Amino acid sequence: MFFSTKELLNDALQGNYAIGAFNIYNLEGVKAVISAAEKLKSPVILQIHPAALTYGKEALVAMCLSAAEASCVPTGVHLDHSSKPEEIDLALSSGLHSIMVDGSHLDYQRNIEFTQKLTQRIHSLDGVVEAELGRISGSEDGLTVPEIEAKMTDPQRALEFVALTQVDMLAVCIGNVHGRYSKPVNLDWQRLTNIRQIINIPLVLHGTSGVPDEMVIKCIELGISKFNINTELRQAYMKTIAQSQEDDLLGLMNNVVNAMQTVVEAKLRLFGSQGKA
């Protein structure tokens, strides 16, 4: 069943659980995510990274949309980090109308202008927009505490940003890192609490690979409604292929699907979405 990502996240926010958005590159990824979601009766999002969109183009979007329609559980399809208008144009022309408009690499005012312009266009097509405010890219090594805090999401700016851009969901930075963590994860719980208290749209957390399960659960308790999963799925895919002794291609692909499905099932249970379909 194809569902709007906005509807999925609003239900999650009201129900105190989170939706898993799993990055998709090929058929095996689609099969793993949909099979896990149907097995656990969980809503889910098939998420396409811009690099994967550039590679798979309309065919990849069509496959994901078709799989969502045919699924027995509520399934959304979403374009991940999109900082180039041409990527968004390709997604929209392919029928994908849930977009992350990513201006987090820009300064605050330019992020507002960039996000506002594209949000108006996407909304005119009855689409849904995720944006990001604050970002620590790659690693926090070498940054002082004030520098790290300056890159995090400021609650009052978040309130203004949402009001001016009219986005439907907001990805926040509370100490989470895009990429690998090189030291123990340290999330700013008070910052998340303050943001949740004044923002009435669903909140998203990126960079969760490596975040301990107990922290993920606390994030949900404090109002995170969507988690992006990419690294762990790719690792399961690549490890299975590297270690396989399978000679038959379909046999190998089934092994890949099973390995990724195991990862997806664990995440759906962790996010509390099992049985929420």
> Do residues 21 and 226 make contact, with C-beta atoms less than 8 angstroms apart?
yes
Name the band, by pLDDT with cuts 50, 70 and 90, for residue 95: very high
Question: For the chain, what is the domain count?
Answer: 1
CA distance 245 to 204: 39
Count of all residues that appear for the chain in the document: 277
Q: Where is pLDDT greater, at 246 or 184?
A: 246
Name the band, by pLDDT with cuts 50, 70 and 90, for residue 56: very high
Q: Is the pLDDT of residue 154 over 60?
A: yes
Structure tokens at 188: 């700013």
Name the band, by pLDDT with cuts 50, 70 and 90, for residue 143: very low
pLDDT attached to residue 146: 42
In a domain, 276, yes or no: no
User: Which percentage of the chain shows pLDDT scores above 90?
Assistant: 86
Q: Is the pLDDT of residue 236 over 70?
A: yes
In a domain, 143, yes or no: yes
- What range does the domain containing 168 cover? 5-271
Name the band, by pLDDT with cuts 50, 70 and 90, for residue 180: low
CA distance 23 to 231: 9
pLDDT attached to residue 177: 79
In a domain, 35, yes or no: yes
Q: Is the pLDDT of residue 139 over 50?
A: no
pLDDT attached to residue 50: 92
pLDDT attached to residue 141: 36
pLDDT attached to residue 187: 93
Name the band, by pLDDT with cuts 50, 70 and 90, for residue 210: confident
pLDDT attached to residue 208: 83
Name the band, by pLDDT with cuts 50, 70 and 90, for residue 175: confident
Beta strands, E only, the chain? 19-23, 44-48, 75-82, 98-101, 128-133, 169-172, 203-205, 224-229
pLDDT attached to residue 136: 55
pTM higher than the cut 0.85: yes
Q: Is the pLDDT of residue 140 over 90?
A: no
Please give the average per-residue pLDDT across 217-245, as a whole number: 95
CA distance 261 to 28: 10
For residue 124, the domain's CATH number is: 3.20.20.70
Active site residues: 80
In a domain, 158, yes or no: yes
pLDDT for 158-171, tens place per residue? 999 999 999 999 99
pLDDT attached to residue 145: 40
Mean pLDDT of the chain, nearest integer: 92
Q: What are the Cα distances from residue 177, in Å, to 14, 93, 199, 272?
A: 27, 32, 22, 23
Please give the average per-residue pLDDT across 68-96, as a whole number: 96
Taking residue 173's Cβ as centre, other Cβ atoms within 10 Å add up to: 25
In a domain, 164, yes or no: yes
Which residue intervals of 137-203 are DSSP H helices? 145-151, 155-165, 189-198
Closest C-alpha among 127, 131, 192 to residue 161:
131
In a domain, 277, yes or no: no
> Do residues 5 and 98 make contact, with C-beta atoms less than 8 angstroms apart?
yes
Q: Is the pLDDT of residue 137 over 60?
A: no
Name the band, by pLDDT with cuts 50, 70 and 90, for residue 182: low
pLDDT attached to residue 181: 66
